Structure 1
Amino acid sequence: MKKRKRILRGLTGVLYPRRCPLCGEILSRKEKLVCEPCAPLVRLIDEPFCMKCGKPLANPRQEYCRDCGKNGRYFDRGRAAFPYTGKIKKSILNMKLRNKRRNADFFSAAMTAVLKEELEHWEIDVIAPIPLHPKKRRCRGFNQAELLAVPLGEALKIPVIPDLLKKKEETSEQKELDRKSRQKNLKKAFKIGPYDVKLSRVLLVDDIFTTGSTVDAAAAVLKEAGAEAVFFLTACIGTEREDRTELVTGERHGKRKPDPDYDRHSGI
């Protein structure tokens, strides 16, 4: 039986070799999550970052980003592993939109490292992935937030409840809306699912944090249900410069131009 399993693992490695989530190159045995050339690109967000949402800040004297400084938040605090830029951005979008589910291993490992820094202060009781509407989940075949949350919970021995929150209404694409429209769009989108644990200190997990409207709406529902504190952790978070460019030019909302760096073979 053991010999048979080894043979199957070997065949899987030949037919479906591990690839670097950032460039798509096949990984050698000694390369764990990314290839050596891409390793220098793997830099977790470090200070200075927003004390509320963890967004990178250019000014070390600044305590909060523009969004958190001028808007009240339902969530207590949050962090992200990477800025939503460059090859990291392409990789998370490939995972989400091009079915590159293996990329989740890389991102969940990075998120685990970030959460370890906060565990002592946050004292998380349970992890809940941000849900997709059932229709969207059926269409995509998976929930990217759940792909990130499950290995995170396993690594840190924290229970994960995939259906703690449910998406009861299909919402418009958030990236096409301004802040007020996002909040209105999400106001009644979430509901509490069936659960048999005490909601005390909850960690929400998602792939990308932009303005925070989605996480905030979910946090509001959890607090109404009795949660003492709600934190969040995402794989990526937008930068203030990127957010400003999108709002002023609408660059991200327009039609995508062909990407000369996109490799059809690797999906990156």
Structure 2
Amino acid sequence: MNLKQTLLTFLENNLFLKNGTCPICGKVLFVTDRFLCHQCEDDLPIINNPTCIRCGRPIFDADRHVCIPCAKLNLPFSGGYAYLNYKDSGKKLVHAIKFNDRPHLGIWVGTQMGVDMARFPWVNGVDLIIPVPLHSNRQSERGYNQSEKIAQGIREGLSQNNHRAPELATDILIRSRDTPHQIGQGREERLCNLTGAFNVEHIETIQNKTILLVDDVLTTGATLAETSLTLLEAGAAQVFIATLCAVAE
């Protein structure tokens, strides 16, 4: 650990809260209710081009409404939303939430997502918000589930301006098998790893319900497809998805 990082770690642990430094550029934050510096917040790669109506992935052809993966693979989502492009500071933000012990950063960015998502008509029909679960082994190592923190923030964001906030349910979708990290794997490998990895408990709770499924990143869609199918086969009526970041098609 170099001298600069040692000093920043000391400041975080002794003088500031866990959001004592900007997770993207490392600048010290002196306002304790901020989680990014002004510059990095302004530079976030927010998705503002046309998006796939099914998964929320950015697309670059205004004449199409569904991305190539959703059209080709008939992914089971009824609709979707993604906040950031998975590049540059978007990647750094995800990494900080997952690996740098910053659960409150996940809640904060989820709140921004929830406020923005309130403009979509389909949000009004959501009954339950369910985060994609971690296996108990991985959650024990990390100390929290980053998708659950993002989902918590989404609920808080939706509750603003008197918007109806669906219930957050964290005990329904269970990851029963500890799958390896999927970074660098193609969709076929991911699907193979994930088949049968999830179970539903309290099945009666999701019967004929519309569910918002929350994850940190949409890449191939394999994880969200497998979890969505698990919920639909258990009796859910529809599954919509929300992700912090999405890879463009």
Q: Give 2:187's aligned residue.
A: 179
Tell me the distance in 2 between the aligned counterparts of 1:18 and 1:208.
25
Instruction: Map Cα deviations across residues 27-56 of structure 1 (whole Å, 9 max, x no partner).
Output: 343974432222321353123111221111
| Equivalent in 190, 213, 216 of residue 207 of structure 1 | 216
Which moves more between the two structures, 62-71 or 201-210? 62-71
Q: Give 1:193's aligned residue.
A: 201
Q: Give 1:82's aligned residue.
A: 84
Change in 2 beyond 3 A, CA 1:109/1:178:
same
Where do 5+ consecutive residues of structure 2 fail to align?
1-12, 160-164
Tell me the distance in 2 between the aligned counterparts of 1:54 and 1:184.
24
Q: Percent identity?
A: 29
Q: Give 2:8's aligned residue.
A: none
| Equivalent in 217, 225, 228 of residue 216 of structure 1 | 225
TM-score computed with the length of structure 1 as normaliser: 0.77
| Equivalent in 122, 139, 142 of residue 141 of structure 2 | 139
SS of the counterpart of 1:52? Answer: coil
SS of the counterpart of 2:168? Answer: coil
Q: Give 1:158's aligned residue.
A: 166
Instruction: Map Cα deviations across residues 198-249 of structure 1 (whole Å, 9 max, x no partner).
Output: 4410001111110111011111011111111001101111123xxxxxxxxx
SS of the counterpart of 1:180? Answer: helix
Between Structure 1 and Structure 2, whose CA radius of gyration is higher? 1
Q: Give 2:162's aligned residue.
A: none
Instruction: Map Cα deviations across residues 136-182 of structure 1 (whole Å, 9 max, x no partner).
Output: 11122111111111232234222101121000111132224221222
Where do 5+ consecutive residues of structure 1 fail to align?
1-11, 241-268
Q: CA deviation at 1:64?
A: 2.2
Tell me the distance in 1 between the aligned counterparts of 2:107 and 2:193.
31
Please tell me the root mean square deviation across aligned C-alpha atoms, in Å: 2.3
| Equivalent in 215, 220, 232 of residue 241 of structure 2 | 232
TM-score computed with the length of structure 2 as normaliser: 0.83
How many residue pairs get aligned? The number is 229
Letter in 2 for 1:82: L
Which moves more between the two structures, 46-55 or 22-31? 22-31
Tell me the distance in 2 between the aligned counterparts of 1:122 and 1:47.
23
Letter in 1 for 2:247: G
Letter in 2 for 1:220: L
Tell me the distance in 2 between the aligned counterparts of 1:91 and 1:43.
11
Q: Give 1:62's aligned residue.
A: 64
CA contact (8 A) 2:45 2:90 kept: no
Q: Give 1:169's aligned residue.
A: 177
Letter in 2 for 1:159: E
Letter in 2 for 1:97: F
SS of the counterpart of 1:162? Answer: coil
